[in-house]
Structure 1
């Protein structure tokens, strides 16, 4: 994945004495000490991160953590006090306002928490508003608006006013407006937090569907860990203007760096976050054409296995054998694994969530785990899953 956004040593201080406050920060003073000495608030405390092209990157934190300040610095609705913000290699933290307007028109769109729709304009006019500012003529604006509304399932509502729509539908209009400009980057600041829980879940699913199709670079702000875990390829958790931990949802659940992160993740359903690839217990296998029944039994005894998978010469699983069948066949003088190999076995890829695999254990077999190339990565027993979910942070 190539890098789309790079943020380096970003600092934001609110207040008139920002130079003095910046000096104190660089001397190692805390946020509270800076506030007490200068009356200024440290909004961002030396933030550095990279966001990949096509990544859905979530920034989380409690109120006052700096998450909204950070996303607003990315499109310069807030000007940073110090540091750099690179978009496609261009440091937009230090461009003039004319260039910044061009960047906002062409590269960055924003979806707001409260929809931000014009009540006197139709849905189609709202969606086409960014194109109007860009100077696109009326007929092309209308065409693009209708095409984008179709993407979010609202083409039939094009000529209605926003007040005729439900909250979820209005947020879809806001999302369509952001998409209509074909901006490469979407900034979404608490975009779904004003919605009821059911509609919020539907909008999360809609965003994931659209992202799979459009592959935008999305920076999504949220205070809800369940939402962040569901949406984010990676998550940055902030506190007091700084990033406390940055990683995949799985990283945060399995390896929280401190009690603050533990507190954030303790209510998360781990089965929806932890991936199969993290709980593989045994990687040993038998290779067709190389291993015999006797060598296979030896491997199983060495690794204390009751089941073992058989792979072909491309390391793809093609069957499973049971220890008791190997022992029985060996007594009969057989050596061909194919004669006792079962070909109806459960298989799953490394990226599948644990919640989605429970039903596969109905056959009583461990699961064969494969990667994106369909190659065997190991197996996962039911006890491995239960152990991983039972371990406290």
Structure 2
């Protein structure tokens, strides 16, 4: 395995999923360049995923977002061949998913991947602890061992005391915590989330987002998270891939997407985002000058403007932005205020 491959928990190259008769004959022809509506009119086929490529680093939360019909849910199902791709390759944890035999694929799904869906899929006749342990049971783990592991996960996701409850005795948010614990029980190489919180009430949804953030800080799991909600994407994602009509529109960090939208479609998406909550100092700093005071607070360029604002505005000297011991920029009060005041002036 090359050094580059070792830095990739997941690599997707040229992935296509076209639904319809003779779908595999379209790729490589002029029809493949048509828009979705034109392709359907001409051939009767629908390109749900169109030549998508990306990589995910170990421990990264990679968010795929787009509106309904953008292809994001089809994409995540292609990653484990729950839906068979029409073309392209998926390499997960060094294993080529797209060329794997059925037996090998089943093994990869059991040991390398866990999925969390919008619909919890809990077994109603089993207690919480046994729902969490179900994947271990399928793998043949002994009852005492799998129950001990399940109890650890029940505690981890904040359900201590509910291990002997049944799913219908739990709220929607609690049921999704069971689903999350079950996904973690196998210690998978990668977690795939397909809009897991979209059916939850807004307050419960926010709690579950906070739970994912907390668990990620503790466990550092690699995850691909599907959502149609931009605020959720910005909160959870280390990087975000935005899809439209099956194609990739932009891939970048939350700050990159808000500061440098690729086109009008993305610009529209991010127009109402509070910029101080997303932009980092890297996007508001100016080059240092010989006359600058070097007595101000020292911060990393990846610090979010909102987090930096209090220290910056309370200091008599500008913020020094330092990367790897080198002064790379200066952020003065005006730079902070331009971001904060601008977003406060946007009509609600």
Q: Tell me if TM exceeds 0.5.
A: yes
Higher Cα radius of gyration: 1
In 1, the alpha carbon distance for the partners of 2:27 and 2:45 equals 10
Deviation at 1:23, TM superposition (A): 5.6
- The SS at the match of 1:155 is coil
Deviation at 1:278, TM superposition (A): 2.3
Aligned Cα RMSD in Å? 1.9
In 1, the alpha carbon distance for the partners of 2:148 and 2:96 equals 34
* Pair 1:350-2:330 in alignment: no
- C-alpha distance after superposition, 1:327-372 (max 9, x if no partner): xxxxxxxxxxxxxxxxxx534332221112222212443223333x
* Pair 1:52-2:57 in alignment: yes
- C-alpha distance after superposition, 1:263-310 (max 9, x if no partner): 1111211111101122222424xxxxxxxxxxxxxx42xxxx5xx01x
- The SS at the match of 1:156 is coil
- The SS at the match of 2:303 is coil
- The SS at the match of 2:197 is coil
TM (normalized to structure 2)? 0.91
In 2, the alpha carbon distance for the partners of 1:80 and 1:265 equals 31
Residue pairs, 1:1-393, within 5 angstroms: 2-22=7-27, 24=29, 28-284=33-289, 299-300=290-291, 308-309=293-294, 320=295, 345-360=296-311, 361-371=313-323, 373=324, 376-388=327-339, 390=342
In 2, the alpha carbon distance for the partners of 1:10 and 1:25 equals 18
Contact 1:106 1:181 in 2 (8 A): yes
Unaligned 5+ residue runs, structure 2?
1-5
User: Larger relative CO (CA 8 A, sep 6+): 1 or 2?
Assistant: 2
Relative distance call for 1:40 and 1:387 in structure 2 (3 A) is same
In 2, the alpha carbon distance for the partners of 1:31 and 1:186 equals 30
In 1, the alpha carbon distance for the partners of 2:67 and 2:319 equals 39
Deviation at 1:243, TM superposition (A): 0.3
Deviation at 1:150, TM superposition (A): 1.2
In 2, the alpha carbon distance for the partners of 1:109 and 1:57 equals 15
Q: Which aligned segments of 4 or more residues in structure 1 are displaced greater than 6 angstroms?
A: none
- The SS at the match of 2:225 is strand
Deviation at 1:180, TM superposition (A): 0.3
Contact 1:282 1:380 in 2 (8 A): no
Deviation at 1:215, TM superposition (A): 1.2
In 2, the alpha carbon distance for the partners of 1:56 and 1:176 equals 17
TM (normalized to structure 1)? 0.81
Contact 1:184 1:217 in 2 (8 A): yes
Deviation at 1:199, TM superposition (A): 1.4
Contact 2:26 2:32 in 1 (8 A): no
Contact 2:62 2:225 in 1 (8 A): yes
Name which of structure 1's ranges 97-106 and 347-356 shifts more when overlaid on structure 2: 347-356
Deviation at 1:27, TM superposition (A): 5.0
- C-alpha distance after superposition, 1:161-199 (max 9, x if no partner): 111112111111110000001001000000111111111
Deviation at 1:25, TM superposition (A): 5.8
Deviation at 1:379, TM superposition (A): 2.5
